[in-house]
Amino acid sequence: MKLSRAGLLALALLSATPVLSAPKAKPAVVAAPLSAWSGAWGTAPSASQAVARPNEVRAFSDITARQVMRLNLGGEALRLRLTNELSERPLKVGAMSVALAGPDGKPLAAPIRVTFGGRTEALIPPGGPLLSDPVALPVKAMDYISVSTFYVEPTAPAGHRVRLFLSPQGNHTAKTDTPGEQALRGPGLVSGVDVRGAAQRPVLVTIGDSITEGAGSTPFADKGWPEQLAARIAARGGEWSVVNVGISGGRLLREGSGPSALSRFDRDVLSVPGVAAVAVLEGINDIGRAAQPGYASEAVTADELIAGYRQLIERAHARGVKIWGGTILPFEGAMYYHPAGEATRQAVNTWIRTSGAFDGVIDFEAVGKDSVKPAQMPDGFHSGDHLHPADAGYALMAEAADKALFGAK
């Protein structure tokens, strides 16, 4: 089954039709017009990913952090979604600005001030997100933006590790160039960027683990398979957006590096404006966990994973969202490979291909297995660890997804 605009428009027209009222009676409720906002970029909040590592930062105080993102859809204006969903403390934003940027992350124009209910400061309540006011900044698909945040007080955002530039102390949100900035990874306060157009555009949300997030690809080059898929769509003038909410270390059934796919599906996938389809590639960390020292009790069966997939399918369908299943890539040679896990992987992949439970299948295994040793990825496909693809491997995955989802040649 291929994704089409016609089905989405039919559903939109149906939902926008008001209920007929009695003659001359004023309707109690009038159907609101469909929102013109669509997701153009996203990431998943993940508190455990805020732990500092080499060349990373965890907390901010009296400092400005710039977050750089590539948008996969254009529009006449944008708005930002800030995350405090995984924190038990309120989070204060002293000031924020946004500017167009180059691929290197450097702002290309003077920053525009971001407001929240007309105010330049914001206090995000614990456990919740915060949407900014619309910003009149026209953008195109594949444009980069830079969002600068001034943290007034000591703050450790419970956000995904993203591309940041950390300034010297003080509020530098109004500056185009800040001497002394340091490039690093750290927790991103912005978890989503929506763009506004004349009509809402359809969005594909990709959920999965590090292979969906893009681990093993060239850092900050947008070479993961969802990013390469988005570039393919943009190159042919397609109207679909791609929002990637993969989490390195993520699992389907249990918490890993962040909440499980089952627990975060509604927040990270179904809440994205314009979501019309979702692609799931999740399960290898559930399978491999039992081979790690001290975790034998967390072994999973194929039936348990299938039950998890069925839950995602039911929840997507309840919202009128199509859902595609991605077959799990080979992992022999990876640090947590084990024969029982390989048997589980093969059983799960057989079910994904043959059950008909998903609306469609993206057969990643078919493009990612060695022709001689099918339990392994071929050399050149993986990045050296027999688990994560390299740029070229992700390109083949993007091509496979493009063919399965959109019928691309």
Distance CA 237, CA 281 (A): 26
DSSP 382: B
**pLDDT for residue 84 is more than 70:** yes
| pLDDT for residue 54 is more than 70 | no
385 is written with which tokens?
Answer: 């660890």
pLDDT score of 345 = 98
In this predicted structure, which of 143-147, 164-168, 276-280, 380-384 has the lowest mean pLDDT?
Answer: 164-168
Is residue 299's pLDDT more than 50?
yes
The pLDDT confidence band at residue 168, using thresholds 50, 70 and 90, is: confident
Asked whether the beta carbons of 300 and 290 are under 8 A apart, the reply is: yes
Pick from 255, 200, 248, 203: which is nearest to 224 by CA? 248
355, 349 Cβ separation under 8 angstroms = no
Locate all alpha helices (DSSP H) within 261-338, ordered by sequence: 261-265, 284-288, 302-318
**Domain extents for the chain?**
43-193, 202-406
326: which DSSP letter?
E
> Whole-prediction pTM value?
0.90
Confidence band, pLDDT 50/70/90 cuts, at residue 55: low
Q: List, for residues 245-277, the tens digit of each pLDDT value.
A: 999 999 999 998 888 999 999 999 999 999 999
19 — pLDDT class (breaks 50, 70, 90): very low
Label residue 380 by pLDDT band (50, 70, 90): very high
Percent of the chain clearing pLDDT 90 (strictly above): 81
Domain 202-406: give its CATH superfamily: SGNH hydrolase (3.40.50.1110)
- Give the pLDDT of residue 4: 55
